Amino acid sequence: MALQLGDIVPDFTQDSSEGSISFHQWAGDSWVVLFSHPADYTPVCTTELGTVASLKPEFDKRNVKVIALSVDNAESHRGWINDINETQKTTVNYPIIADPDRKVSDLYGMIHPNSLNNLTVRSVFIIDPNKKLRLTITYPASTGRNFDEILRVIDSLQLTDNYQVATPANWKDGDDCVVVPSIPTEEAKQKFPKGVTEVKPYLRTTPQPNK
């Protein structure tokens, strides 16, 4: 059965552009973004991996490790990294898992039978420090991912893990939040001293509590 949100993600040991990686041990106490791409030396993937390298300081700030994967081997990854660095004006500063035997792709359901033959799709997995799966997204091969959106989701997850709020449509760090439905408005006013606005009894907003 496919991985579900809240599952402990499968552990594995696999070669990568930076040598052998035992995944849970490598992740340690960090959040992880694991993302797969169809193949090395392809144009959209080249821009994606360069973008993630440029965003590395943003991931670091949030205690997030990033790791990519495709079914190509580690030697191919290392050669392609030179091209990414050259063309995207960056330095790929995270590992790319080599999965020619499809071990990890099968464990995580990254090969979709109706998609390109035997190639990993553009999957994204956000994994928390308890190794629980917190988000999955799958994009078609023709659409490069928006990694600002991945950072936005991480901000929301890290906030809502610590406060009884949720984040509304298109929320970004610093915007007002919504109070979770389980808290009565009077109690919410105590919990959120910056103020609670009751738009409807079920729709209450409050300034972001950790700002």
Least distance to ligand BEZ, CB of residue 84, Å: 12
Least distance to ligand BEZ, CB of residue 106, Å: 19
Least distance to ligand BEZ, CB of residue 178, Å: 37
Q: d(Cα 151, Cα 157) in Å, to the nearest integer?
A: 10
User: Given the complex with ligand BEZ, which of 105 and 206 has the nearer CB atom?
Assistant: 105
The answer to whether residues 159 and 167 touch, using CB atoms and an 8 Å cutoff, is yes
User: Given the complex with ligand BEZ, which of 71 and 104 has the nearer CB atom?
Assistant: 71
Helical axes 74-88 vs 43-54, angle rounded to 10°: 70
User: Given the complex with ligand BEZ, which of 43 and 57 has the nearer CB atom?
Assistant: 43
Least distance to ligand BEZ, CB of residue 205, Å: 40
Distance (Å) of CA 91 to CA 50, 78, 95, 98, 150: 8, 12, 12, 19, 20
The answer to whether residues 105 and 99 touch, using CB atoms and an 8 Å cutoff, is yes
Binding site for ligand BEZ (CB under 6 A): 38-39, 42-45, 141-142
Active-site annotation holds for 45: yes
User: Given the complex with ligand BEZ, which of 3 and 141 has the nearer CB atom?
Assistant: 141
Please give the angle made by the CA atoms of 54, 55 and 58, to the nearest 5 degrees.
145
Catalytic-role residue among 27, 45, 69, 151: 45
**Residues catalogued as catalytic:** 45
